[in-house]
């Protein structure tokens, strides 16, 4: 999302340059300069033809520019409001999940994020995107680590990221989109970290 916002801002800045150039060209008139002793004939003054000026629809360009800026601002604001940080990640593999969906590579668990939340997990430069489909770790498990363990990765995701299925590591997390499902707990060890309130 931050990448899309940066791209939109770059496009908006390019559009600003184009709009400014078009406005300058539309408003400028090219008048050849002659020595003061040579009279300038009326034919020598060259102005943009009416058709050329009409093709430079400045209000439309300005509106497109403003729309691009509004979209970029919304994307940046949304990205800034979603939690991210560093936490401990543990791994698990259960036959059933709280969401009722089968356990799979993308399954992650969190005691604080709603079911359906999409989160990017990064370990030593390698990333995977998971979906909260289960609740956990338990409060005692969250609290026993130097950085609270607010996310539980499927063993398949953990093995892909670290090379070991049953593991405990520090990861960078970034919530990409809130889910609309249930939440297991709304307080406890690591809750502020999970919500982006470090």
Q: What is the mean pLDDT of residues 162-174?
A: 97
pLDDT at 44: 47
Residue with tokens 């990448």: 3
Q: How confident is the model at residue 186 (pLDDT cuts 50, 70, 90)?
A: very high
pLDDT at 6 over 70: no
Other residues' Cβ atoms within 10 Å of the Cβ of residue 153:
30
Res. 25: pLDDT tops 90: no
Does the pTM surpass 0.75? The reply is: no
Sign of CA dihedral 186, 176, 148, 109: positive
d(CA 176, CA 3): 12
- In angstroms, rounded to a whole number, what is the distance separating the alpha carbons of residues 139 and 145? 11
pLDDT recorded at residue 64? 81
| The CATH number of the domain covering residues in 84-194 | 2.40.40.10
Residue 176, classed as helix, strand or coil, is: strand
The number of residues making up the chain comes to 198
Alpha carbon distance 133, 128 (integer Å): 15
Structural domain boundaries in the chain: 2-81, 84-194
Give the sign of the dihedral formed by CA 60, CA 62, CA 63, CA 69: positive
Summarize pLDDT for 119-161 with one digit per residue, the tens: 999 999 999 999 999 999 999 999 999 999 999 999 999 999 9
pLDDT digits (tens, 9 = 90+) for 33-78: 545 554 544 544 455 555 554 456 778 778 888 888 888 777 666 6
């Amino acid at each position: 999302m931050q990448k899309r916002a940066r791209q939109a801002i770059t496009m908006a800045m390019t559009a600003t340059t184009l709009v400014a150039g078009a406005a300058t060209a539309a408003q400028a008139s090219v008048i050849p300069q002659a020595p003061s002793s040579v009279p300038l004939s009326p034919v020598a003054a060259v102005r943009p033809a009416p058709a050329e000026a009409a093709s430079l629809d400045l209000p439309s360009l300005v509106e497109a520019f403003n729309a691009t800026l509004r979209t970029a601002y919304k994307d940046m604001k949304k990205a800034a409001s979603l939690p991210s940080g560093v936490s401990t990640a543990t791994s698990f593999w259960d036959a059933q999940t709280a969401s009722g969906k089968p356990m799979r590579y993308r399954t992650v668990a969190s005691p604080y994020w709603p079911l359906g939340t999409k989160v990017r997990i990064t370990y030593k430069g390698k990333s995977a995107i998971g979906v909260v489909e289960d609740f956990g770790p338990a409060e005692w498990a969250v609290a026993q680590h130097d950085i609270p363990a607010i996310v539980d990765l499927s063993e398949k995701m953990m093995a892909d990221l670290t090379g070991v299925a049953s593991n405990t590591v520090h990861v960078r997390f970034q919530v990409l989109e809130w889910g609309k499902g249930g939440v297991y707990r709304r307080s406890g060890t690591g809750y502020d970290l999970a919500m982006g309130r470090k």
